[in-house]
Amino acid sequence: MKQHILIVGAGFGGVWSALSAARLLDQHDRHDVQVTVLAPQAQLRIRPRFYEPDVHTMLAPLDSLFDAVGVNFVQGTADSVDATLKQVGYHDAAGAKGTLNYDRLVLAAGSQLIRPDLAGMIEHAFDVDQIEQATRLESHLKTLASLPDSPARNTVVVAGGGFTGIETATEMPARLRAVLGQDADIRVIVVDRGPQIGASMGDGIRPSIIEASAHLGIEWILNASVESVDAGGVTLSSGQRIESRTVIWTVGFRASPLTQHVAGTRDAQGRLHVDSHLKVLGQPHIFAAGDVAYAATDTLGNHAVMSCQHAIALGRYAGNNVAADLLGVAPMPYSQPKYVTCLDLGAWGAVYTEGWDRQLKLVGQEAKDLKTQINSVWIYPPAADRATALAAADPLIPVA
């Protein structure tokens, strides 16, 4: 009977874990180990692009790629992890229950946006966290043209001035004018708890965010938070009322609830602490990759953030090491000392920095060209060719 490596999740961490595990097995000419990916769909959903229009196209099919490298795919949503029995429970699209046993597990179930328990948040707010929610927002935006001209129709409120909030807000003027016309009297308002525009992004990036906001006509309301949402607008903690048919929530990400099924230490976002080989602390048979892993990127005290930049590298190392652990060969310590930020700022351009202190390197169109290259080429999976795909899964290939 073949030994079994099970990977839960087909996001960046999961896909690259599967390819990397297949790569090491191929290098050792081992055909007695099966690699299986369990996920709701055999597609990599390009989550970093969900703030853009045409979101239904932001995915890459994985069937041919998995076939090319000999990875088995099981369609289903994981419900539970039993580390003692070495078993994962799941349900398929029809709700039928199933279980998968494993010899080694890579948990790469990703993260999700957590909406706060505020009045009207579930019923009336939008988000760009998953492709279904982003598609719902896009459909809503298209319906605005059928409504009578009004401040509420023409106003979008983005709750949160972090990375996702800024990219969503700066893309919104072009998206609104594509629906309402170039002469529409639109408003895009960012509501943020921070004391400054782009406070969470650092001093190097902030001037570009301020300039882009001014150029695009984006307003910021600082030191404020959303108190409630209804069909006609949003009320802030200050009591201020903003009439808006479109309120977008962008803050509060946590690791998949599946992490709660694994005994271990977690960070504030629910991510499991892992060792240098990405094995979950205290778990001899479970590795973690992507947004569920709290992993040190270097020896300076920096840790991976919830981004495809880190998820791709974490996946490559986790896949290599889970196979190495099963085969009894030396694992590779995860290391990703280079950190970059490339923030899209809509029609104004973008801003690119390097280092955890975010040293400014590119601004405007140059940064926009790089962002376009990242979003449309670099973060997509390799071609469904065995040699090409396995070569691309080398953990030593720099992601940034």
The pLDDT profile of the chain, 400 residues, written as one tens digit per residue, is 899 999 999 999 999 999 999 999 999 999 999 999 999 999 999 999 999 999 999 999 999 999 999 999 999 999 999 999 999 999 998 999 999 999 999 999 999 999 999 999 999 999 999 999 999 999 999 999 999 999 999 999 999 999 999 999 999 999 999 999 999 999 999 999 999 999 989 899 999 999 999 999 999 999 999 999 999 999 999 999 999 999 999 999 999 999 999 999 999 999 999 999 999 999 999 999 999 999 999 999 999 999 999 999 999 999 999 999 999 999 999 999 999 999 999 999 999 999 999 999 999 999 999 999 999 999 999 999 999 999 999 999 988 6
CB 19 within 8 A of CB 47: no
| Alpha-carbon dihedral 91, 55, 171, 308, rounded to 10 degrees | 50
From the CB of residue 278, how many other CB atoms can be counted at a distance below 10 Å? 29
In the DSSP assignment, the letter for residue 377 is I
Q: What is the pTM of this model?
A: 0.96
- What are 386's two structure tokens? 């065995």
Residue 243 corresponds to which amino acid?
A: E
